[in-house]
Amino acid sequence: MTNKRSRITATLLVLVVTFFGGIAVAQATTAETVISVQQNPCGDLTGFKHSALSSLPSEATTTYHLIKKGGPFPYPDKDGTVFSNRENILPKCASSYYHEYTVPTPGSPDRGARRIVTGSGGEFFYTGDHYATFSVIDVDGTPSPTCGDTSKLAKVGYSTLSSAAKSVVDSARGGAAGTVYENREGVLPSCAAGYYQLFPVGTSDRVISGKGGEIVYTPDRYTTFGLVNLAG
């Protein structure tokens, strides 16, 4: 009888350990999932130089419009092919995330060294030295976010900001760290936790930067928001 009771006790102990162990595994898996969602491996453009499309060679604008239209391209066997990111300068993403397009160089006997590389998240990158360096292209001076749509936000010209606000915008674009903006007002696109950084300017105005390079200005402590046109 004693041996039978011992076997029953041991069996119950195994079941209890298995049950609670399963809960722990499930909790750990859930935690890992949350972390992976918040730390999206693609589209984090923090630290990248930004270039307005209008500041690039005119051929880059032509190539950009061809990309938006779907062609025709000057090198149809090359343009639109997968860019493998062997240099590991761009964020590490899936193997088919990036595609490259030729930006013709006048007078060059071949394709030259200039390219636009696109990301599946809507990013546009420019390299003028055959992948040695990249900058994020800010179309019309307003960077495209890697999450959500900011097209409905009012536009604010950089030149119209106060000198203090300009200084904060410059710091934010340069990769300075602010405090996390939680987007409680729900005006900005809903993104992963930590996507937005908040920078105080004066008593009521604030600058908010997104990891996609977008800069938002609020002059009245989150009552109204404007997307900063960095070329305006």
Neighbours of 219 (CB within 10 A): 17
Shared domain for 130 and 194, answered yes or no, is no
Q: Is 73 helix (H, G, I), strand (E, B) or coil?
A: coil
pLDDT: which is higher, 150 or 88: 88
Q: Which amino acid is at 175?
A: G
Shared domain for 66 and 134, answered yes or no, is yes
Shared domain for 133 and 54, answered yes or no, is yes
Within a domain: 20 = no
Q: In what order do the strands lie in the sheet with 81-82?
A: 50-52, 135-138, 124-127, 115-119, 98-102, 81-82
Within a domain: 59 = yes
Query: Which pairs count as long-range contacts for 203-211, CB under 8 Å and 24+ apart, including other chains?
Result: 205/162, 205/165, 207/165, 207/168, 207/169, 207/172, 208/181, 209/172, 209/173, 209/178, 210/145, 210/146, 210/147, 211/43, 211/44, 211/45, 211/46, 211/146
Shared domain for 57 and 137, answered yes or no, is yes
Residue 87 has pLDDT above 90, yes or no: yes
Shared domain for 85 and 119, answered yes or no, is yes
Shared domain for 85 and 121, answered yes or no, is yes
- Name the domain boundary from 141, 174, 196: 141
Shared domain for 62 and 100, answered yes or no, is yes
Within a domain: 112 = yes
Confidence band (pLDDT; 50, 70, 90) for 143?
A: low
- Name the domain boundary from 141, 166, 185: 141
- Catalytic residue numbers read 100, 130
Shared domain for 130 and 163, answered yes or no, is no
Residue 125 has pLDDT above 90, yes or no: yes
The whole-number pLDDT of residue 163 equals 94
Over the chain, what is the mean pLDDT?
80
* Owner of token pair 């340069």: 174
CB 106 within 8 A of CB 59: yes
Copy the structure tokens of residue 175: 């990769």
Within a domain: 174 = yes
Residue 24 has pLDDT above 70, yes or no: no
pLDDT per residue as tens digits for the range 171-194: 887 778 899 999 999 998 888 888
Residue 43 has pLDDT above 90, yes or no: no
Supply the DSSP symbol for 131. Answer: T
Shared domain for 133 and 158, answered yes or no, is no
Cis peptide before 109 (omega within 30 of 0): no
* Among 69-73, 84-88, 141-145, 197-201, the least confident range: 141-145
Shared domain for 178 and 203, answered yes or no, is yes
Confidence band (pLDDT; 50, 70, 90) for 111?
A: very high
pLDDT per residue as tens digits for the range 44-67: 676 788 888 888 999 999 999 999
The whole-number pLDDT of residue 17 equals 43
The whole-number pLDDT of residue 165 equals 94
Q: Which amino acid is at 223?
A: T
Residue 230 has pLDDT above 90, yes or no: no
Confidence band (pLDDT; 50, 70, 90) for 141?
A: low
Within a domain: 4 = no
* Among 45-49, 59-63, 115-119, 225-229, the least confident range: 45-49
The whole-number pLDDT of residue 167 equals 92
Q: Could you give the number of structural domains in the chain?
A: 2
Within a domain: 5 = no
**Cα separation of the two ends of the chain:** 88
The whole-number pLDDT of residue 147 equals 64
CATH of the domain at 87: 3.10.450.30
Shared domain for 54 and 137, answered yes or no, is yes
- What does the pLDDT average to over 65-73? 92
Structural domain span for residue 214: 154-229
